[in-house]
Amino acid sequence: MEMRDFVVRFAGEGGQGVVTSAEGLAQAATQVGYHALTFATFPSQILGGPTWTQARIAVDAILSPGDDVDVLVAFNQDAYDEHNSEVRDEGVIIFNSNEFQLEGDSRGFGLPFDELARSTGNNRAANMVIIGALAHLVDMPQRYLEEFVSKRFTRGRSGDEEIIRSNIEAMTLGRDHISESGLALGALAAPNPPDFAQIMLKGNEALALGALAGGLDFYVGYPISPATTILIYMERNLVGEGKFAHQVSSEIESITAILGAGFAGKKAMTATAGPGFSLMSEGLGLGWIAEIPLVVVDVQRGGPATGLPTKTEQSDLMACMFPAHGDVRMPVIAVGTVEECFYGAIKALTWSERYQGPVILMTEMSLAERVQNIAKPDLSQVEDRRRQVYEGTNGYHRYAGLELSPMPIPGNPGAYVANGSEHDDMGDTTHLASRHIQMTERRFGKLKLLEEDEYERDNVEESIAIMPWGGSKGPALEAYNQLKASGVPVGWYYTMYLNPLPPKLLEELKKKDLVIVPELNYQGQFASILRSQGVKAEAITQYTGLPFKVRDLVKRVTEVTEAVRKEAAGV
Amino acid sequence: MSKKNEEYDFKWCPGCGDFGVRRALEMAMIDRLEETGLPIENNVVVAGIGCSGNLVHLLEGSQPYGFHGIHGRSLPISLGVKMARPELNVVVVAGDGDFLSIGGEHIGPQAARNLNVCAVIMDNGVYGLTKGQSSPTTKLGEITSSTPFGKIESQLNPLELYLTLGVSFIASGFSGQVRPLAKLITQGMEHKGFSIVHVQSPCTTYNDTFELLKGNVQKGIEPGLWEVPEDHDTSDKGAAQQLLQQGGVPVGVLYDDTFRPSMDQQVEQMWARAEPKTVQELVDAFEF
- The tens digit of pLDDT for each residue in A281-340 reads 999 999 999 999 999 999 999 999 999 999 999 999 999 999 999 999 999 999 999 999
Quick check: is A397 in a domain? yes
Question: Which residues lie closer than 8 Å to B27 by C-beta, 6 or more apart?
Answer: B178, B179, B182
Between residues 222 and 281 of chain B, which touch chain A (CB distance below 8 Å)?
267, 270-271, 274, 276-277, 279-280
- The neighbouring-strand residues paired with A58 are A5, A35
Q: Which residues of chain A make contact with B39, given a CB cutoff of 8 A?
A: 413
Q: Is the dihedral of CA A483, A485, A490, A495 positive or negative?
A: positive
Same domain, A26 and A160: yes
Contact yes or no for A328/A297 (Cβ under 8 A):
no
Same domain, A283 and A427: no
Q: Of B6, B82, B85, which to mutate for an interface test with A (greatest number of A Cβ within 10 Å)?
A: B85
Quick check: is A493 in a domain? yes
Same domain, A107 and A162: yes
CATH at residue A205:
3.40.50.970
Q: Which residues of chain B make contact with A199, given a CB cutoff of 8 A?
A: 283, 286-288
When CB atoms are compared, the residue of A197, A379, A395 closest to B279 is A379
For the segment A491-550, what is each residue's pLDDT rounded down to a tens digit?
Answer: 999 999 999 999 999 999 999 999 999 999 999 999 999 999 999 999 999 999 999 999
Helix (H) or strand (E) holding B182: helix B178-190
In the prediction, which pLDDT does B50 show? 93
Contact yes or no for B107/A268 (Cβ under 8 A):
no
Distance CA A152, CA B2 (A): 65
- The neighbouring-strand residues paired with A244 are A218
Quick check: is A503 in a domain? yes
Rg (CA), chain A: 26
Residue in chain A closest to B44 (alpha carbons) equals A410
CATH at residue A494:
3.40.50.920
Residue in chain B closest to A254 (alpha carbons) equals B76
Rounded alpha-carbon distances, angstroms, from residue A568 to A115, A563, B195? 65, 9, 73
CB contact under 8 A, A261 and B283: no
A537 three-class SS? strand
Rounded alpha-carbon distances, angstroms, from residue B214 to A129, A417, B120, B210, B228? 83, 35, 21, 6, 15
What is the value of ipTM here, to two decimals? Answer: 0.97
Quote the minimal CA–CA distance from A130 to chain B in Å.
22
**pLDDT band per the 50, 70, 90 thresholds, residue B1:** low
In the prediction, which pLDDT does A1 show? 62
In the prediction, which pLDDT does A151 show? 84
Same domain, A376 and A420: no
Same domain, A43 and A124: yes
Q: Of A236, A419, A423, A432, which to mutate for an interface test with B (greatest number of B Cβ within 10 Å)?
A: A419
Quick check: is A298 in a domain? yes
When CB atoms are compared, the residue of A252, A258, A408 closest to B80 is A258
Same domain, A11 and A56: yes
Same domain, A414 and A539: no
At residue B152, what is the residue type? I
CB contact under 8 A, A256 and B267: no
CB contact under 8 A, B80 and A268: yes
Contact yes or no for A208/A377 (Cβ under 8 A):
no
- Tell me how many residue pairs between chain A and chain B have CB atoms under 8 A apart: 192
Q: Of A200, A253, A399, which to mutate for an interface test with B (greatest number of B Cβ within 10 Å)?
A: A253
When CB atoms are compared, the residue of B63, B67, B79 closest to A257 is B79
B51 three-class SS? coil
Question: Which residues lie closer than 8 Å to A152 by C-beta, 6 or more apart?
Answer: A27, A31
Boundary-marking domain end, from A163, A188, A213: A188
In the prediction, which pLDDT does B9 show? 81
Quick check: is A195 in a domain? no
When CB atoms are compared, the residue of A213, A220, A428 closest to B279 is A213
Q: Which residues of chain A make contact with B11, given a CB cutoff of 8 A?
A: none
Distance CA A58, CA B135 (A): 65
Contact yes or no for A447/A331 (Cβ under 8 A):
yes
Distance CA A399, CA A158 (A): 64
When CB atoms are compared, the residue of B44, B64, B76 closest to A248 is B76
Of A96, A131, A101, the residue nearest A113 (C-alpha): A96
Quote the minimal CA–CA distance from B149 to chain A in Å.
33
CB contact under 8 A, B267 and A244: yes
Distance CA A116, CA A176 (A): 11
CATH at residue A91:
3.40.920.10
> What percent of chain B stands above pLDDT 70?
99
Q: Which residues of chain B make contact with A147, given a CB cutoff of 8 A?
A: none
**pLDDT band per the 50, 70, 90 thresholds, residue A40:** confident
- Judged by a CB distance cut-off of 8 A, whether residue B66 touches chain A is yes
Helix segments in A214-280, DSSP class H: 228-237, 251-263, 274-279
Quote the minimal CA–CA distance from A205 to chain B in Å.
10
B64 three-class SS? coil
Same domain, A224 and A267: yes
Distance CA B212, CA A389 (A): 50
Distance CA A330, CA A318 (A): 10
Residue in chain B closest to A433 (alpha carbons) equals B7
When CB atoms are compared, the residue of A257, A265, A417 closest to B76 is A257
The mean pLDDT value for B212-237 works out to 96
Q: Is the dihedral of CA B78, B80, B83, B87 positive or negative?
A: negative
Strands A198-202 and A371-375: antiparallel
For the segment B101-151, what is each residue's pLDDT rounded down to a tens digit?
Answer: 999 999 999 999 999 999 999 999 999 999 999 999 999 999 999 999 999
Q: Which residues of chain A make contact with B56, given a CB cutoff of 8 A?
A: 417
When CB atoms are compared, the residue of A198, A256, A282 closest to B77 is A256
The mean pLDDT value for A12-20 works out to 84
CB contact under 8 A, A283 and B70: yes
| Residue A544 domain boundaries | 456-568
CB contact under 8 A, B67 and A260: yes
Q: Which residues of chain A make contact with B63, given a CB cutoff of 8 A?
A: 394, 415
Contact yes or no for B181/B199 (Cβ under 8 A):
yes
**Mean model confidence pLDDT for chain A:** 95
Boundary-marking domain end, from A145, A166, A188: A188
Distance CA A187, CA A177 (A): 18
In the prediction, which pLDDT does A100 show? 92
**pLDDT band per the 50, 70, 90 thresholds, residue B288:** confident
CB contact under 8 A, A260 and B81: yes
Q: Which residues of chain B make contact with A198, given a CB cutoff of 8 A?
A: 287-288
**pLDDT band per the 50, 70, 90 thresholds, residue A44:** low
- Judged by a CB distance cut-off of 8 A, whether residue B52 touches chain A is no
What DSSP line would sit under A25-45, residue for residue? Answer: HHHHHHHTT-EEEEEEE--SS
Boundary-marking domain end, from A381, A411, A427: A381
Distance CA A254, CA A565 (A): 50
In the prediction, which pLDDT does B284 show? 97
Beta strand ranges found along A338-466 (DSSP E) = 358-364, 371-375, 417-419, 456-458, 464-466
Question: Which residues lie closer than 8 Å to A522 by C-beta, 6 or more apart?
Answer: A315, A541, A543
Helix (H) or strand (E) holding A93: strand A87-96
Same domain, A424 and A465: no
| Cis-peptide into A323, omega within 30 deg | no
Same domain, A88 and A146: yes
Q: Which residues of chain A make contact with B105, given a CB cutoff of 8 A?
A: 249-250, 252
A159 three-class SS? coil
Beta strand ranges found along A105-185 (DSSP E) = 108-111
Q: Of A407, A421, A430, A435, which to mutate for an interface test with B (greatest number of B Cβ within 10 Å)?
A: A421
Give chain A's domain count: 4
Domains identified in chain B and CATH numbers: 18-284 (3.40.50.970)
Same domain, A468 and A555: yes
CB contact under 8 A, A248 and B8: no
Give chain B's end-to-end CA distance (angstroms, integer).
58
Between residues 123 and 162 of chain B, which touch chain A (CB distance below 8 Å)?
none
Same domain, A164 and A241: no
Is residue A459 pLDDT above 90, yes or no? yes
Is residue A48 pLDDT above 80, yes or no? no
Contact yes or no for B17/B212 (Cβ under 8 A):
no
In the prediction, which pLDDT does A116 show? 94
Residue in chain A closest to B11 (alpha carbons) equals A429
Distance CA B86, CA A149 (A): 48
Quote the minimal CA–CA distance from B211 to chain A in Å.
33
Is residue A43 pLDDT above 80, yes or no? no
Distance CA A267, CA A352 (A): 9
Quick check: is A49 in a domain? yes
Residue in chain B closest to A380 (alpha carbons) equals B280
**pLDDT band per the 50, 70, 90 thresholds, residue B3:** low
Q: Which residues of chain A make contact with B93, given a CB cutoff of 8 A?
A: none
Between residues 68 and 97 of chain B, which touch chain A (CB distance below 8 Å)?
68-70, 73, 76-85, 87-88
Quick check: is A194 in a domain? no
Q: Of B5, B41, B281, which to mutate for an interface test with A (greatest number of A Cβ within 10 Å)?
A: B41
Q: Which residues of chain A make contact with B286, given a CB cutoff of 8 A?
A: 199-201, 205, 209, 376
Question: Which residues lie closer than 8 Å to A478 by C-beta, 6 or more apart?
Answer: A63, A64, A550
Quick check: is A51 in a domain? yes
Contact yes or no for A359/A297 (Cβ under 8 A):
no
CB contact under 8 A, A248 and B57: no
